Structure 1
Amino acid sequence: MLRVAFLLVCLVCAVCGCGPVTAETPATPPVVQIAPALDSTRARPDRGLVIRASGGTLSKVAAYAGADPVPGRLDADRRIWRSDWTLRPGTEYTVTATATGASGPATVTMGRFRTRPAEQALGLAARTPLPGETVGVGMPVVLDFDRPVEDKAAVERALEVRAAHPADGAWRWVSDTRAVYRTRRYWAPRQRVTVTAHLAGVRAASGVYGAADSTFAFTVGRRQTSAVDTRTHQMTVERDGRVVQRMAISAGMATTREYTTTSGVHLTMDKGNPVRMVSPGREEGDPGYYDLLIDHAVRVSDSGEYVHAKDNVWAQGRANVSHGCVNARPDQAAWFYDNSLRGDPVTITGTDRPLEWDNGWGFWQLPWEKWIQGSALTKG
């Protein structure tokens, strides 16, 4: 009977698969870490929002500044989520993050925190081009800040330029309050460009944070470039690769430096009809003094140079007799005035006075390798 019982036990074990019995270890749920810490009341806005998962991956992240979603992205391993930009000062944020492991329950972490307010706020005092403006292919983007920027790298990282036809471009700091963006080559024509200063939460100096983001857009128009040869006294205007105007001109008489037209790549900056022009450094009664209203004047530098109308056709095409400007027949100057956009390149050659890169918008005078050296993000 004992043997039969043993055989029955063996048969039962063979059929039922008896084996050692081990207790199953429960899976450890993933851990979610959020920085700034939830319930913080004075979080630093310049450090952004970072969410990490250990023991699993992030399957869902939802973050809001008030009712506005916070843009951000996961890394390739889906273990770290970072906000794209810094955070708004003095703002309450809500966060919900879900992490899942290979098995076992998911971890859902939710809560809120508040960023510290800015002691002093950084913003934009001015921006060029104007929102909605149509400009020429050489147009720079100029941002003027309302207070000095000490941490230029932090601010520059927050500046974003998006073009329908992307191109290499870089910012250059020309002062503590001004940054200028220039492309490596002229903009492709007929496209929209959007500039966003993601300043909210950027630490520009001790106690100084960007208060809000700022976005504006402009349009690059047709490609119009002009070439002025002061030796042949001729100006040629091309549009989209086709000559659309030839103008006999007269340039600076070059008897003094100030009366010498500058050579180099100029940009049209603004225009007026008329423009009052007064001789620099001279008073009424001094030799060479003048005070004139000039029609159809298009400015190309900060040193008083314009392309403008002048009824001295006897000199145009023959001699340089101006005080430094480029003048043309009144009807042709009016045409140039009507057909110019800010940022149109005007290249002048033939004189021994070069245009300084910081004279007006002479930024194209700097080779690209030198231009990028003015970026706060350039290494070495």
Structure 2
Amino acid sequence: MRVIAWAAALLLAVAGCAVRVPPAPRVTMTPAPDAVGAPPDGGLVVRADGGRLTNVVAFAGRDLVPGAFDRSRTVWRSSWALRPGTDYVVNALAVGPQGVAGRLTGRFRTLRPHHEVALASVVPSDGETVGVGMPIIVTFTRPVENRAAVERALAVTGPVEGAWHWFGPSQVVYRPMRMWPARSRIAFTAHLAGVRAGPGTYGAADRSVSFTVGRAMVSTVDTRVHRMVVRQDGVVAQRIPISAGMATTREYTTTSGIHLTMEKGNPVRMVSPGRRKGDPEYYDNLIDYAVRISNSGEYVHAMGNVWAQGRINMSHGCVNASPDQARWFYEHALRGDPVIVTGTSRRLEWNNGWGYWQISWPDWLSGSALHRVPEFVRGAAGP
């Protein structure tokens, strides 16, 4: 009997020393595995219960899905919304106490929307070199109802702070608080794919544009002394005698304010607005070396009336200069170069061409759907 009792005690002792293996972490994902028609605007979320995520790899078709862990590494989220009508594959690994692993492999497909919205145009063009005042003008293929969601998906990488301002349901414009530093590089990406822009309407695809800011060329036009001074990187490059609008009517008055150069033509056909052939002051001329600075027909251009330039304002609203100096300005101008006009009774409207610098910074911020300065990524200025 003593032997039996001793054996029983030994078995109890061994049983008391047994190691208890903890359960494996539970790994889940949203959208759920095998989901069909998953909403893309919620993105992809992977969670670990009872452990920490060590690896998450997701593919949209053949493309890797970008994402990030939270601080505790218990949650991983995709950086942006998901592509509509796309197959996704997800592999995730989590490790719990004592190195016990939990795994997840899942597939799902996002919904195919009833309507899609895309970017109809982006200004400036990809790879373009622009002036220091250049805005980013984004136009959509259809009206955007959920402006806040779309605005969150628009990312700008640059050296200075800026913000978006909506000019109607189909256009939004980005402008820095102060003009771009010369020779900086700017990158814009619309992470639009999968963003819910309205009922049954989702972004169709992402789009990226990168551009470079050139030298800082700023021109100041004083219509009272009939002079334009062009500075490049703060150094005077040209002093140009000019003739501005004669100001006999509103349309023949040059607008005062911060203009931006918009486009160039050599020659440009200019026709008197609201007049027919035979009417007083009717004209229909081809004008050389013309650089547009507004939508109301204002250009800096060449004109042979050298006798008036530097002496009197005799134009129909444009700023004209001698052919040689107008050609110099034409050849050196980039889209987005500021042309600051003073001395007239007519003010440049913010919606006349690219008159966005006429809007104060607080008023500009009020046009954001987020009502705040957006997050931006600082990039290095310089070549």
Q: TM-score range by the shorter chain?
A: over 0.9
Q: Per-residue deviation at 1:25?
A: 3.7
Mapped pair 1:207 → 2:210 = no
**Counterparts in 2 of 1:93-172, with a 5 A limit?**
93-163=88-158, 166-172=159-165
Partner Cα distance (2:325, 2:21) in 1 = 86
Give the one of 222, 229, 237 matched to 2:230. Answer: 237
Q: Per-residue deviation at 1:291?
A: 1.1
Q: Greater CA radius of gyration, 1 or 2?
A: 1
Give the letter aligned to residue 289 of structure 1. Answer: Y
SS of 2:16 mapped into structure 1: coil
Mapped pair 1:30 → 2:25 = yes
Q: Which moved more, 1:270-279 or 1:185-194?
A: 185-194
Quote the residue 1:21 is aligned against: 16
Partner Cα distance (1:28, 1:232) in 2 = 85
Q: Per-residue deviation at 1:314?
A: 1.2
Partner Cα distance (2:15, 2:91) in 1 = 43
Partner Cα distance (1:379, 1:196) in 2 = 19
TM-score (norm 1): 0.93
Q: How many residues align?
A: 366
Quote the residue 2:35 is aligned against: 40
Q: Per-residue deviation at 1:24?
A: 4.3
Q: Which moved more, 1:223-232 or 1:204-213?
A: 204-213
Mapped pair 1:275 → 2:275 = no
Alignment CA distance shift 1:250-1:38 (3 Å): same
Partner Cα distance (1:250, 1:302) in 2 = 19
Mapped pair 1:174 → 2:171 = no
| Residues 114-168 of structure 1: per-residue CA shift (max 9 Å, x gap) | 00112112111111111111111110111111111111111111111123xx210
Quote the residue 1:343 is aligned against: 336
Mapped pair 1:63 → 2:46 = no
Contact map agreement 1:297 1:337 (CA 8 A) in 2: yes
| Residues 264-322 of structure 1: per-residue CA shift (max 9 Å, x gap) | 10000001011111111111122221111111110000111000111111111111111
Q: Per-residue deviation at 1:26?
A: 2.9
TM-score (norm 2): 0.92
Contact map agreement 1:233 1:318 (CA 8 A) in 2: yes
Mapped pair 1:224 → 2:243 = no
Give the letter aligned to residue 331 of structure 2. Answer: D
| Residues 325-353 of structure 1: per-residue CA shift (max 9 Å, x gap) | 10111100010001100000000011121
Quote the residue 2:305 is aligned against: 312
Q: Per-residue deviation at 1:21?
A: 2.7
Q: Per-residue deviation at 1:23?
A: 5.4
SS of 1:371 mapped into structure 2: helix
RMSD over aligned CA atoms reads 1.9
Unpaired runs of 5+ in structure 1? Answer: none
Taking only the aligned residue pairs, the percentage that are identical comes to 59
**Counterparts in 2 of 1:230-379, with a 5 A limit?**
230-378=223-371
